[in-house]
């Protein structure tokens, strides 16, 4: 053990692996290897020194960042110009009321920087009305500063709550309602309160951005008492009492780990606003450009298609006469991009667009095969186009084409071969031999579920609908967890400042359709299964052990809609899984059973046993629990966020409001009582704070 600890200590602090900066580029006058040693990492040439060493050597390192959203905006702008030639994105007004109203309603899906669930809650609470507000959200929604979010929102809606530790801070912090948000504000605090020069204040900013806490700690004495050798007056000399100066510096030190550059935040805020503006005023063009940008990521395509539907936009299946590589705008809605269809190559699609432009629209399925035969048309590509619905507009049933496409392709191939080989009849005199037309079989169309399955197979998505469409009302009523939300909360990508709604080990109830089932024999010679289930927001893998496998029985089958009770299992570098504890058919009669399996009591169904009817308001309820919400007062602006949440989870669990200002308890109206739901609790705790939401 002693040897193990000594070895661990010797390894502590050493680099774990060689990594490459995502955007860092070293620029030198001579070849780089004249200055620093180089190495190959994943096929790229990199320096062997870390960025801090490069800076100490005096070398220039620049970060070149690419932003997909700029391409999305440019593509959307081009589409808008087809009907409004004079439209210029950079000329849009930055004070558009409709755009800010859309953000205040939480319609942030597809809006740069503002679409995660946590930051959407912040936006709806803040109700931004300027670029300055969006800038603050971008800067605050990070570890550390986010603890100031409730105070920032409260002060924005009630300026009387704004407080400054010293009058000299008013002009510096008034734009952020007394909250310290930006590095530039810290620079100004050092300059105005302690007499730092702009150059010296910028050195402090650099130390903050690089998180050099030792250097910042050395500035404490300079800030409070000054340093004549450096030309620094100090806060005390400038009329700030010592305790206040110490308090301000301590706040800066707490803030230093997370301070955000306002210039950076403003740039992000402008892009956020532009994406929101385009979504608000040119929804078809913007969503088409956004969908094209994530064409290779089926989960994001699925998410944004759901957003389109919620906006009232129709996303149409691919079409050989209307679709291009990416998503395109039509009078009817947004047309799916052909590049998303499996087994259809980009070169073939470019040839298809060129042929359509030169020869006009394809008149029939056979016309398509004849004209595209010379452009790498093959059986797999043709089958993928049929299954995805790309020929539906020509008046065919998919069942007909799937039965005849092999014959058509073989006929075209044979005719081409005969013509190439010069086989012609005596009277043809060199004219191409006409191919015999193939009659369409008179058979019924495939069932909708089978067509949806084919669309899923060829595009990774359901296009004509979704197997869960028939269950929307029931799922909404049950307030099930959403797979995408679970993935977002447990993705582990980057910093996650918001308290997640879902976490590892939490029990949840899901509703989805089973898309695959894979059985496996365990070491104990029992059967288990790995199941993929999909809801309207995404898909997740279920781990089904033998006991649940026996319980689920015949319900565990592909294309079956089911309730799923289980526990979240999150591991590093893996998508979260669900360890299933029960699986039932997606029918209302099984809802209580699946909730009990998830350990979630269904308090909505509790009744006054004496009268065999729901208990009256505030009295006679058999529910022993109460949900206590502590607020500042009945004028607390956070109540505007809380009320819609309570209404959406209506049940028989009484809600008690505790007003901290006068220490009074008030029972909420019956319409705001809820049922016991973990998702609701976590949302309330995010808005009001962990300690202000208690169940007892």
Packed helices 183-194 and 262-281: angle between N→C axes, nearest 10 degrees: 140
Mean pLDDT, the chain, rounded, equals 84
Least confident of 481-485, 569-573, 600-604: 600-604
Least confident of 50-59, 256-265, 564-573: 256-265
DSSP 130-193: SHHHHHHHHHHSSTTGGGGHHHHHHHHH-GGG---SSGGGHHHHGGGTT---BHHHHHHHHHHH
Strands 334-335 and 60-63: unpaired
pLDDT greater at residue 25 or residue 690 = 25
Does CATH number 2.40.50.200 belong to domain 469-600?
Answer: yes
Residue 255 CB partners (closer than 8 Å, separation 6+): 144, 145, 180, 186
DSSP 393-440: GGT--HHHHHHHHHHHHHHHHHHHHHHHTT---TTTTTPPPPPPP-PP
Query: 173-206: per-residue pLDDT in tens?
Result: 998 888 888 889 989 999 999 999 989 888 888 7
Torsion sign across C-alpha atoms 438, 443, 448, 452:
negative
Would you list the domain boundaries of the chain? 2-63, 70-265, 314-425+441-459, 469-600, 604-695
Indicate whether 505 pLDDT > 90: no
**What does the pLDDT read at residue 434?**
60
Map residue 504 onto helix, strand or coil. Answer: coil
Q: How confident is the model at residue 436 (pLDDT cuts 50, 70, 90)?
A: low
Residue 489: alpha-carbon gap to chain centroid: 10
Give the other-Cβ count within 10 Å of 455's Cβ: 24
Confirm whether pTM is higher than 0.75: no
Phi, psi (deg, nearest 5) at residue 329: -95, 130
- For residues 577 and 543, is the Cβ–Cβ distance under 8 A? yes
Indicate whether 374 pLDDT > 50: yes
Least confident of 59-63, 416-420, 450-454, 620-624: 620-624
The Cα 668–Cα 86 span in angstroms is 54
Residues in the chain: 696
Residue 53 CB partners (closer than 8 Å, separation 6+): none
Burial of 693 (0-12, 13-18, 19+ CB in 10 A): buried
- For residues 511 and 467, is the Cβ–Cβ distance under 8 A? no
Least confident of 328-342, 573-587, 628-642: 628-642
Indicate whether 101 pLDDT > 90: yes
**What does the pLDDT read at residue 415?**
78
Strands 655-659 and 693-695: unpaired
Strands 507-521 and 527-534: antiparallel
Residue 67: alpha-carbon gap to chain centroid: 16
Indicate whether 430 pLDDT > 70: no
The Cα 479–Cα 683 span in angstroms is 13
**What does the pLDDT read at residue 608?**
37
């Amino acid at each position: 053990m002693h040897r193990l600890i000594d070895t661990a200590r010797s390894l502590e602090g050493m680099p774990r692996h060689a990594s490459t900066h995502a955007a860092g580029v070293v620029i030198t006058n001579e070849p780089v290897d004249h200055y620093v040693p180089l190495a190959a990492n994943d096929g790229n040439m990199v320096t062997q020194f870390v960025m801090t060493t490069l800076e100490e050597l005096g070398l220039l390192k620049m970060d070149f960042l690419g932003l997909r959203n700029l391409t999305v905006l440019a593509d959307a702008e081009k589409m808008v110009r087809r009907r409004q030639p004079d439209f210029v994105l950079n000329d849009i007004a930055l004070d558009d009321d409709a755009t800010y109203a859309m953000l205040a309603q939480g319609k942030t899906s597809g809006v740069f920087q503002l679409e995660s669930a946590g930051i959407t809650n912040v936006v709806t609470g803040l109700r931004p009305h300027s670029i300055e507000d969006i800038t603050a959200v971008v800067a605050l929604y990070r570890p550390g500063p986010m603890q100031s979010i409730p105070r920032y929102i409260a002060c924005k809606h009630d300026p009387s709550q704004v407080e400054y530790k010293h009058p000299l801070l008013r002009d510096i912090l008034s734009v952020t309602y007394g909250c310290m948000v930006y590095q530039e504000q810290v620079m100004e605090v050092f300059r105005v309160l302690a007499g730092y020069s702009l150059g010296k204040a910028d050195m402090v900013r650099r130390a903050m951005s690089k998180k050099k806490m030792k250097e910042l700690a050395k500035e404490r004495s300079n800030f409070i008492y000054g340093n004549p050798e450096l030309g620094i007056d100090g806060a005390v000399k400038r009329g700030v009492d010592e305790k206040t100066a110490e308090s301000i510096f301590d706040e800066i030190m707490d803030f230093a780990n997370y301070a955000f550059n306002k210039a950076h935040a403003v740039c992000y805020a402008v892009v956020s606003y532009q994406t929101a503006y385009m979504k608000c005023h040119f929804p078809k063009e913007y969503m088409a450009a956004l969908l094209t940008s994530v064409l290779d990521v089926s989960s994001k395509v699925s998410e944004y298609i759901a957003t389109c539907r919620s906006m009232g936009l129709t996303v149409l299946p691919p079409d050989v006469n209307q679709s291009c590589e990416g998503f395109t705008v039509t009078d009817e809605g947004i047309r799916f991009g052909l590049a998303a269809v499996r087994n259809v190559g980009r070169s073939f699609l470019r040839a298809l667009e060129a042929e359509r432009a030169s020869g006009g629209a394809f008149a029939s399925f056979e016309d398509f095969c004849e004209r595209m035969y010379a452009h790498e048309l093959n059986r797999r590509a043709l089958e993928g186009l049929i299954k995805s619905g790309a020929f539906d507009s020509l008046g065919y049933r998919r069942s007909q084409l799937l039965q005849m496409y092999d014959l058509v392709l073989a006929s075209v191939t044979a005719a081409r071969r005969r013509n190439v080989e010069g086989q012609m009849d005596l009277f043809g005199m060199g004219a191409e031999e006409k191919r015999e037309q193939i009659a369409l079989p008179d058979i019924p169309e495939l069932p909708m579920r089978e067509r949806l399955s084919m669309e899923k197979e060829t595009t990774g998505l359901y296009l004509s609908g979704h197997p869960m469409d028939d269950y929307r009302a029931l799922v909404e009523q049950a307030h099930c967890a959403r797979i995408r939300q679970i993935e977002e909360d447990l993705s582990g990508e980057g910093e996650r400042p918001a308290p997640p709604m879902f976490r590892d080990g939490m029990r949840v109830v899901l509703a989805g359709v089973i898309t695959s089932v894979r059985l496996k024999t365990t070491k104990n010679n029992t059967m288990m299964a790995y199941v993929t289930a999909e809801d309207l927001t995404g898909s997740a893998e279920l781990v089904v052990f033998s006991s649940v496998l026996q319980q689920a029985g015949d319900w565990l089958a592909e294309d079956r809609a089911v309730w799923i009770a289980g526990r979240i299992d999150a591991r590093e570098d893996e998508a979260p899984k669900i360890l299933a504890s029960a699986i039932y058919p997606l029918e209302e009669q099984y809802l209580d059973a699946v909730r009990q399996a998830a350990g979630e009591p269904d308090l909505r169904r509790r009744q006054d046993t004496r009268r065999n009817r729901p208990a009256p308001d505030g009295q006679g309820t058999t529910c022993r629990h109460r949900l206590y919400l502590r607020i500042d007062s009945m004028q607390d602006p956070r109540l505007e966020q809380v009320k819609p949440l309570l209404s959406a989870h209506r049940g028989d669990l009484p809600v008690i409001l505790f007003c901290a200002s006068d220490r009074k308890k008030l029972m909420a109206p019956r319409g705001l009582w809820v049922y016991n739901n973990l998702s609701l609790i976590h949302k309330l705790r995010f808005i009001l704070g962990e300690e202000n939401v208690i169940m007892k």
